[in-house]
Structure 1
Amino acid sequence: MFSTYSCQNTKSKDNNVVGKAVEKKQNDLGEILKAKKLTILAENSATSYFIYRGHKMGLEYEILNEFAKEIGVKLEIKVVQDLDNIINQLNDGEGDVIACNYTVTKDRRNKIDFTKPIMRTSQVLVQRKPDNWRTIRKSIWEKELIRDPAQLSRKTIHVWKNSSYYDRLVNLQDELGDTIILKPLDGNIIPEDVIEMVSQGFIDYTVVDENVALINQRYYTNVDTELELSVKQRIAFGVRKQSPLLRKRLNAWLDDFMKTSTFNYIKYKYLNNTSNVSKSKSEYSSIKGTKISPYDDIIKDVSAKYGWDWRLIAALIYQESKFKLGQESWAGAYGLMQFMPTTGPSFNVFPDSPPAVQIDGGIRKIIKDYKEWESIPDTVQRIKFAMATYNAGLGHVLDAQRLASKYGKDPLVWDDNVEVYIKHLSNPKYYHDPVCYYGYMRGSETFNYVRSIFIRYTEYKTAFPIES
């Protein structure tokens, strides 16, 4: 059993897949540009971020992904399981930007800064329509619904305790001079889940932002969201007070981006397009589903046979083929694992091989590449060398390793060492160097290949935890 393939760092029991425990950093724009990575703290929702069939989606994710492209960095997502802790996580340096349909409030502004608003929305009451609403006129069944905030007296409303919704209901009680029975919910229950609870009859009422309500009402058609309970409030991205340059750059970009057709399309895609609502509720969605791809059961079974984490293999397959069985590249690579015609037969994998055979052959190829790097003491780094070899071939990675050693970098570490020189192998200065035997390659592809797989793997681990 290859227990080392579980992607645990051999240097520390507590380290995660990326090899090091999270350090508390107060990154501003300069550090983000240097690291070429912007980390957002998101919730698992259609408005913020979710995974559908391995593909990253979400209104705020797509906006910030455009920003990341603009400043030339990769976007990394950290899904926050408990929104009660999100400000602490931001200020502790676990992420750079909060993106969770976050309302700007006075209390939050005391702790963090906000960008310019990306939208304005009011709070609405979510209530269930009568069971027979489809068979009678709206003018009749509407009489059974609350249409005036005064009717909330003595009603029980379940709502997130540390939200602007809860604060608004407390103020509304004072305005009414009567009691609203508030049932506080913890931050690990997202608004979309509470809307579902109303729809299924587990609770009677909740309050959410109108944009969230509109998205979910297209799926939960038996809920009503017409009663507004607040004025229009600002939804914005949260930024540390110690990151003024990031906030300034993001605001300047938003000023221009929010005038573009791309921004309008992203809003339409999530706020008006019913198909994307269906995706967020699909069995292949990280919000409601438990699957990354149609091949999860096969990936799990075959990965377990060889002792690999199935989510790492899923991240590799997505990078190779986006789970498209008949995928063929311009170079003739085929299938889920994108075997070249000269390599596939060595692992008994052919273009018409069934998924289980393709995945089994791909994992055996990764194991073979992993064994080429017995000199690498750290298992996470060793897996990254193996992934690079899977993509570029052993010879080019050996060239990059020799260049790293020549220029004073650690030849046994991929991150920020050998990966730097794999990128340089498209530059004649480096691929003509006497220590290089295999010549030119598009090294940036392999550089991005390894990084993308591990970023996606980290996201898959959060969205699809291993069953206990």
Structure 2
Amino acid sequence: MPHSKLSLYCLRSLVAMIILGGLPLMLTASHTPTVLEQVQQQGELTIISRNGPTTYYEGNQGLDGYEYSLAKAFADSLGLKLKITEEESYSGIFDSVGSHRGQFAAAGLSITDERSNTIRFTEPYMEVNQELLYRTGSKRPTNIEDLYNKSILVISNSAQAARLRKLQQKHPQLRWHEQSDLEMIDLMEMVHTGTIDFAVIDSNAFALSRNLYPRAQRAFSISEQPMPLAWAFPLDSDNSLFDKANEFIRQAKRNGKLAKLENTHYGQVVAMDTGSATTFARRLDTRLPRWQENLIVAGEEFDLDWQLLAAMSYQESHWDEHARSHTGVRGLMMLTKTTAKEMGVTNRLDPEQSIKGGAKYFRKIFDRIPQDIQGPDRTWFALAAYNIGYGHLEDARVLTEKMGRDPDKWIDVSEHLPLLAKRKHYRTTKHGYARGWEPVAYVQNIRNFYSTIAWHQQVQQRRLASTKNDAVITPTEASFEGSEEQETTSTL
């Protein structure tokens, strides 16, 4: 082949190779990345949420809350960091879904027909009831007619407001106020103090704060059936992230993750009777501040949550430094003589020594719990051992395993601890008889107190951070039937 023709042939071959080699790049460049691909490229998943007890909040150990925990688990499953964009109003949440502010909303949102016209929901992860609250001491309403001409307050654009609008079709005399800058815990406080007659909130929010505001009680549920809660996505044709979210929720139902999360965030809250709750709420303001600094110092020294120590000391002594039981244990942490001596406590009635001694002893037990037991379960096991003794706890774990359950899970062991009081079981154990129901109640009570103390601290911090311009608007100042204030937003 002549040299010129050879050169021309080589040139054409080279051009063809360049074109063919670049074709995949051209095709790739022309592909619009899906939402899932975009978040994977960014390495970050952004959700839109409201700051509050049932969604997310700054806890003693960092961000916490049911919605945060669930969304964090989803982000972890995708290998992504989680970012939260805060939005105060429900209308702002729905307007922001799918925008630059967040891929979806995780804010305890109820699925309603009205909302489904503009957004789409994942499979539900929880169900709640819409509870009407009234103040104890006043006449308890039993039906909608009892609400005529009364002061009812709900959050603007909430599912509770939507339900009231539906009820109004059959009850034209039903009236209410809507306000946008409130959380459900605020509504509970206003009913508790008598600022308003009634409020409507979700049952999970009521469960979290009923011991903090014991005068706010349930009258009846205004929802015909439980309302499903779900994540909210935009109405568009891109299903990539939406499908992943549904897959995650379905799997979380199957593997028990949803049940575990619900138990962690709501299972610890058991209602006290009104008298006990009222007394506890009062002592949060009158007694706890006297010992709070000592509790914080002990918590820092032994790497423990001071609010857990506060809950333990309330369970033990009701924060009475002179407390004494019929068995001879004494002081804020109700130490025995033997334990006090072991922990270097020379005066059990000295609050500082008692708190430090109790914290040191609990830390010793906590470190002794098998390393396979981690997370909240490790704390519950340590509390049970603090109450009943490490040997009896181990006996209960052995019984649990013999009966085919998991000895490393508190939910399983707590069911078998009471068996230590039954002869056919305790005669086979190393340490014999024990009042096994007591540590179960002990742990439950402390979880209960801890939750209420934590939320009391959140309320106190909110009050300290508030200004005159942030003062809560009373129902008489709020617009009637659903007008909104101007919203402001911020991003964490």
Structure 2 matches for 1:112-191, cutoff 5 A? Answer: 112-130=119-137, 144-176=139-171, 178-186=172-180, 188-191=181-184
**Contact 1:40–1:95 (Cα < 8 Å) also in 2:** yes
Q: In the alignment, what sits opposite 1:42?
A: 49
Cα distance in 2 between the residues matched to 1:201 and 1:192: 14
1:89 partner letter: S
Structure 2 matches for 1:89-128, cutoff 5 A? Answer: 89-128=96-135
Distance 1:57 1:275, change over 3 A: farther
Q: In the alignment, what sits opposite 1:340?
A: none
**Contact 1:52–1:279 (Cα < 8 Å) also in 2:** no
- CA offset digits 1:43-89 (Å, max 9, x no partner): 11121000013511000110111111111000111221233311112
Q: Over the residues paired in the alignment, what is the CA RMSD in angstroms?
A: 2.6
Q: In the alignment, what sits opposite 1:236?
A: 230
Structure 2 matches for 1:50-449, cutoff 5 A? Answer: 50-53=57-60, 55-130=62-137, 144-176=139-171, 178-186=172-180, 188-230=181-223, 231-242=225-236, 243-273=238-268, 274-275=448-449, 277-278=451-452, 280-283=454-457, 288=462
The DSSP-based 3-state class of the residue aligned with 1:30 is helix
Distance 1:57 1:248, change over 3 A: same
**Contact 1:90–1:96 (Cα < 8 Å) also in 2:** yes
The DSSP-based 3-state class of the residue aligned with 2:176 is strand
- CA offset digits 1:107-127 (Å, max 9, x no partner): 221221111001112211011
Q: In the alignment, what sits opposite 1:11?
A: none
Distance 1:256 1:151, change over 3 A: same
Equivalences, count: 255
Give how far 1:262 is off. Answer: 3.2
Cα distance in 2 between the residues matched to 1:200 and 1:30: 50
The DSSP-based 3-state class of the residue aligned with 1:46 is coil
Cα distance in 1 between the residues matched to 2:259 and 2:73: 13
Cα distance in 1 between the residues matched to 2:155 and 2:34: 30
Distance 1:41 1:286, change over 3 A: farther
2:101 partner letter: E
TM-score calculated relative to the size of structure 1:
0.51
* Higher helix proportion (structure 1 or 2): 2
2:228 partner letter: R
The DSSP-based 3-state class of the residue aligned with 2:169 is helix
**Amino-acid identity (%):** 22
The DSSP-based 3-state class of the residue aligned with 2:85 is strand
Q: In the alignment, what sits opposite 2:357?
A: none
2:193 partner letter: Q
Cα distance in 1 between the residues matched to 2:461 and 2:74: 24
Cα distance in 2 between the residues matched to 1:212 and 1:128: 17
**Contact 1:44–1:286 (Cα < 8 Å) also in 2:** no
- CA offset digits 1:178-215 (Å, max 9, x no partner): 412211212x2122211111112211111111121222
Give how far 1:237 is off. Answer: 0.6
1:180 partner letter: L
Q: In the alignment, what sits opposite 1:434?
A: none
Give how far 1:171 is off. Answer: 2.1
Cα distance in 1 between the residues matched to 2:148 and 2:89: 30
Q: If you compute each CA radius of gyration, which structure gives the higher value, 1 or 2?
A: 2
Q: Could you tell which deviates more after superposition, 280-289 or 266-275?
A: 280-289
Distance 1:88 1:190, change over 3 A: same
Distance 1:65 1:207, change over 3 A: same
- CA offset digits 1:400-424 (Å, max 9, x no partner): xxxxxxxxxxxxxxxxxxxxxxxxx
Give how far 1:150 is off. Answer: 2.6
1:179 partner letter: Q
The DSSP-based 3-state class of the residue aligned with 1:125 is strand
Cα distance in 1 between the residues matched to 2:135 and 2:230: 29
Distance 1:268 1:209, change over 3 A: same
Cα distance in 2 between the residues matched to 1:287 and 1:95: 27
Cα distance in 2 between the residues matched to 1:261 and 1:289: 37
Give how far 1:254 is off. Answer: 0.8
- CA offset digits 1:287-309 (Å, max 9, x no partner): 74658xxxxxxxxxxxxxxxxxx
Q: Could you tell which deviates more after superposition, 42-51 or 52-61?
A: 52-61
Distance 1:173 1:213, change over 3 A: same
- CA offset digits 1:331-356 (Å, max 9, x no partner): xxxxxxxxxxxxxxxxxxxxxxxxxx
**Contact 1:43–1:81 (Cα < 8 Å) also in 2:** yes
**Contact 2:125–2:230 (Cα < 8 Å) also in 1:** yes
TM-score calculated relative to the size of structure 2:
0.48
Q: 2:36 aligns with which of 29, 38, 59?
A: 29
Cα distance in 1 between the residues matched to 2:232 and 2:75: 16
Unaligned runs of 5+ in 1: 1-24, 131-142, 292-464
1:271 partner letter: Y
Q: In the alignment, what sits opposite 2:351?
A: none
The DSSP-based 3-state class of the residue aligned with 2:190 is helix
Q: In the alignment, what sits opposite 1:446?
A: none
Cα distance in 2 between the residues matched to 1:262 and 1:245: 23
Q: Could you tell which deviates more after superposition, 268-277 or 202-211?
A: 268-277
The DSSP-based 3-state class of the residue aligned with 1:168 is helix
- CA offset digits 1:303-341 (Å, max 9, x no partner): xxxxxxxxxxxxxxxxxxxxxxxxxxxxxxxxxxxxxxx
The DSSP-based 3-state class of the residue aligned with 1:102 is strand
Cα distance in 2 between the residues matched to 1:91 and 1:26: 15
Distance 1:275 1:30, change over 3 A: farther
